[in-house]
Structure formats: C-alpha cells, structure tokens
Amino acid sequence: MRIKICVIYNYAQHYRLAIFQLLNKELGCDFYFGDKMKDVRKLDYKLLPGFKKELKNVKVFSNAYWQKGAVSLFFSNYKTYLVLGEYYCLSTWVLLILTKFSSKKIYLWSHGWYGNENRLKRIIKKFFFNLSDHVFLYGNYARDLMINEGFSSEKLDVIYNSLYYSHQIEIRDQLKNTDIYSNYFHNEDPVIIFIGRLTIEKKLSQLLLAQDVLAKNHIPVNLVFVGTGTEEADLRMQAETSGNLNCWFYGPCYDERKIGELIYNATVCVSPGNVGLTAMHAMVFGTPVITHDDFTTQMPEFEAIIPGKTGGYFIKDNIGDMVSKIGEWISPAVDRESVRKLCYGVIDEKYNPAFQVSVFKKVIVKDNL
C-alpha cells in the first residue's frame, strides 16, 4: 500500500539524503524543510524526488522557533504527517493539536528522552509526545526511559540513524591499508581520528591533552581532525603551544572515498564529548569508537558502541581514564581485522536506511489499512 506522506523537517541535512530518498521511494513522500540550521551543509534539493518547499524557521525566543507555512499544510489533502519531534518547534504543537480534531495521523521522529530532564521539561515533553499517534526514536535508551515515564511501549519504535549507507559500503568493499598516515607523519605510530564538526560540545581540547599524556608516557600517537568548526582556531593554537607536531587538521571533507581511506587506516576514533553520527561514520568503515559514559548527555548513536568489541567508554571529563581506554585500543594485541568486522556488523544490522524504512512501513502502513 502506497500512502502520500507529508514530511516536515527542521532542515535538509546533507547526511540524511539517503533515508529521505528511500522514504520517498518506498512510502511516497512530499518533503518540507526549514531553511537554516547553524553550520550544517544543506542537501541538494534536486537529488530528492518529492521535495516541495522550503519553510522559513522563525526564532521566537531562546531555542523556540516557528516553521512558517507548516500549519497551513494541515489544511491540505494530506492524511498522514511525519514530523521532526522537537518540542520547542511551536508550529509542531499546533499541528499535533489540530490532528486531535480530525481523522489525520501524525508521527514524530525524535530523540525523545535523554534522562537529564527536570520536572518541568518532563511535563512538557509528556504532553508533546502523547499528542502524537506514534513516536519513532533513535535509540533503545530513550525508549526505555519513556516507558519508565509511563508511555505505552506500543507507541514507541526504534529506527536508529543512518548516513549514505549504500554508497559507503560500495567504498568499503574496495578499502585497503594505505600509507596515507605514514606519508604525512613520517612514522608508524597509532592514529587517533575524530570526524565531525569541531565544536565546543565535542570537547576536543581533551583529546589533545590525552595525546600529550600518552607522549609523556612514551606512547606516541598521531591525531587527525577531519572537519571544521568554531573551535578549530583554538585547537590549532593549543597544538602549536604544546609543540605538537603529530596533529593533522585535515579540514572539512565530503568525499566519502577520501573519508573511507582516512577512517579505515586509523586505529581508533575518539569523541570526548557527545559522539553522535561520528560513531556511525567510523564504524561503517571499520574503526572502533571511544566516547564518554554519561548517557544523559550523549547522542543516541552511543548505543552502537559495544565495550570491548566496537569501542569503549571512559569516565566523562576524566583525561586519565580516556588515556587508559585509548591505550587498550591502540595495543598491538588488538585484532584489527576482527574489530573491523564487528563494527561493520553493527551498522549493517541496524544503522542504515533500509532498516529505518522497514520500521516506518511496518507502523504507518498498518495504521492506514
């Protein structure tokens, strides 16, 4: 059964192209996106069949915003809506309330619960999510928290997250060990990589500190930053001040073939702050991931990390424990090829568009029979 679905999203993130394309192919969707979101690159609308219109995100106060044009879509011919579940998007509240007075259905696609919500935020989020017909979540951690908050398990499904999976596995099948790092650093030391935006939330200065500690303990490592962001200048200054010659600021890169080579040939990926999509990008190309253990401040992709198999967790903000965990993963005793296969397996099983769409179809098609 093919249903015309109205998808309303905060912004057209370039890394969501694959899931949006497959949603359109399998379910039939019209897409409406907000017009801005910090420094995230926008996808090319020409690549997305079903794209209809860009909505204007209008800031109201603090994080609250209104998507101009979203509410008018309720008065169109759509019967089914898939909307990003941000409770601080005020127009989404209006859509949710309007559907309660109609036969139309609205599904939320959301992080859901983090576990650090205060009493007021818990009350607001309970009202918000209970207004929807169903909630699609990025992880089991959020689902379990919401069930503990009184939500029905039948109303919650986990879809995980994804990047451009089909393209990535084509590249992955051709990857091999290269001399990209030995040529740059002129050594054979282990390589720690971080890929993503260089922002304060990622706490990347801690990674430079950890590299210094390892060096003082006669364990030299090379450090690579793939990406750019507001913290790049400060990180460069920190590296220069400490006399760090084994740090490569590779810069932003959107070429998956180059990214694949960089990640595949690295020893371990470390994200001192929240890990997010960095975990998926690293694992799809076979590199384990280390991040902190405070799940209330993590992004849902932390669940892809299986301690001792696909990475590990260190005590949040504890440089010594981070160093210890890095030491475990750069050890010559680690069977790098076995770890690669374990990382591949996690992504291949759950963190891909095909899995996501299978869950969307199971719920939405059943509800519209």
- State residue 369's pLDDT score: 56
- State residue 38's pLDDT score: 74
Q: 324-353: per-residue pLDDT in tens?
A: 999 999 999 999 999 999 999 999 999 999
pTM: 0.93
CA 111 to chain centre: 10
Q: 202-234: per-residue pLDDT in tens?
A: 999 999 999 999 999 999 999 999 999 999 999
Per-residue pLDDT averaged across 91-101, rounded?
A: 97
Residue 94 has pLDDT above 70, yes or no: yes
Asked whether the beta carbons of 198 and 229 are under 8 A apart, the reply is yes
